[in-house]
Amino acid sequence: MAPVKVVLPNGLRIYTDEMPHTHSVSLGIFTQVGSRYEDARLSGISHFIEHMFFKGTQKRPTAREVSEAIEGIGGYINASTSYDVTTYYCKVANIHTERGLDVLTDMLTGALFDPREIEKERGVIQEEIKMSLDVPAHWVHQILDELMWGDQPLGRDIAGTIETVGAFSREDLQQYRAQHYTAANTVVSVAGNIDSTRMVEEITTLLASYPQGPLLRPVQTLPSTSGPLVQLIERPTEQTNFALGLKTFSFEDPDRWALSVVDSILGGGMSSRLFQEIREERGLAYSVGSYTSEYDDAGKWIIYGGVEVNKAVAAVEAVVNELRKLRNEGVTEAELTRIKEQVKGGMLLGLEDTWSVANRNGRHELRYGEVIPVEQIVAWIEAVSHEDIQRVTERLIRSDNLYLAVIGPHASAEPFKDVLAI
């Protein structure tokens, strides 16, 4: 059964997806705001506001009352802030659907932004930022973002900095919230054992008066310094962590489907080229993999690994060699067939979970203005040809499109620079 879309008079969009074979219901409120909407002074404010929605409402004045309202019925509640979407979601047994909806909508409409809670949460987020700097496997990705994009939103930590988080006023938070938390900017997505008609009625009752406002655009991503570039952070770690990035393209580029196939061939799981060559054959790394991220005007393809210190340069060189081989020699027919099945199978398996379905529907609506049928995506994946793969690899795999971040006990970045050429 296809998801049902309803648009309220105020512009708020609702998706319901009936999955009557399940015992759960997942509810998500997706707001088109994140760190790409922030100027430098407000870096991290989207993430800060996400935290504040959990810190008490007029109906549930304390953070404990908010969390217990869901956890006390065996449910799960959480949120996330990315570059362009902030999501509030919960998963409950279908007998508690009304409670889940009530709590989520109460958070977004009735959050108190108590000055005392703001000050407490300011310290919590600052500690969160410090903690990320103590985890090289996480920090190396932030270093890479800065290297690739420079001083613009895609190059900054979504959580902001110690200084920016320390400077937000209550007025800053409330003004930013009023600007971005509007009906036209919002999608409510529900999937599970529900009745769509009744669910739409309940959401309409709760959010028909959700404030209206203009649909704001993110800060434009500007061209930044070309590669090859290396950023080394010297730390006395037991292991070297590295992240190699290539700039890609937006989520509207037709080559994104071919890139998803290429990415799976290179770093998608234990059967991927990187895992087989770098871990299984050469024993250079315990963990190695890759992923892609696309935005409305930019994108990135990231290869990462954790390696023994004395094998770090060799591991990076091996990654570069695999990229070169992928561009120059392409893929075999058997490899292409296997990867297509892997991509399609993974996507289809994910749709068995109510949150995966609700999440997909909400994000697709914000990104594309519709939910793309699974059958259409399967057809696009199936249509990827050797020529498509050749075109994509030639577009992306170039020496001037290589950016490398390294954290480890290395005295010089030169040995890494020496192997960073294709």
Domain ranges of the chain: 4-207, 229-418
Angle of the 312-329 helix axis to the 386-396 helix axis, nearest 10: 130
**Sites in the chain below the pLDDT cut of 70:** none
Are the CB atoms for 94 and 193 separated by under 8 Å?
yes
CA–CA distance from 174 to each of 112, 169, 170, 320 (Å)?
Answer: 10, 9, 6, 47
Question: Looking at domain 229-418, what is its CATH homologous superfamily?
Answer: Metalloenzyme, LuxS/M16 peptidase-like (3.30.830.10)
Are the CB atoms for 293 and 85 separated by under 8 Å?
no
What's the pLDDT at 349? 86
Residue-wise pLDDT for 157-171, tens only, equals: 999 999 999 999 999
What's the pLDDT at 199? 97
What's the pLDDT at 55? 97
For residue 186, the SS3 value is strand
Q: From start to end of 206-314, where are the E strands?
A: 229-234, 239-247, 285-294, 299-308
The reply to whether domains 4-207 and 229-418 share a CATH topology is yes
> Longest C-alpha distance within the chain, in Å?
64
**What's the token pair of residue 185?**
């900017």
What's the pLDDT at 283? 84
What's the pLDDT at 367? 95
Are the CB atoms for 233 and 202 separated by under 8 Å?
no
What letter would DSSP give residue 216?
P
Task: Check 18, 38, 50, 322 and give the catalytic one.
Answer: 50
> Half-sphere exposure of residue 194, counting CA atoms within 13 Å on the CB side?
33
Q: Rounded to an integer, what distance in angstroms lies between the CA atom of residue 308 and that of residue 285?
A: 7
Under 8 Å CB-to-CB from 62, ≥6 apart: which residues? 56
- Closest C-alpha among 128, 115, 121, 185 to residue 160: 128
What's the pLDDT at 184? 95
- Closest C-alpha among 207, 177, 176 to residue 189: 207
User: Topology of 4-207 in CATH?
Assistant: Cytochrome Bc1 Complex; Chain A, domain 1 (3.30.830)
To the query of whether residue 121 is one of the catalytic residues in this protein, the response is no
What's the pLDDT at 82? 97
Are the CB atoms for 49 and 124 separated by under 8 Å?
no
Q: Rounded to an integer, what distance in angstroms lies between the CA atom of residue 345 and that of residue 40?
A: 41
**What's the token pair of residue 371?**
């939910």
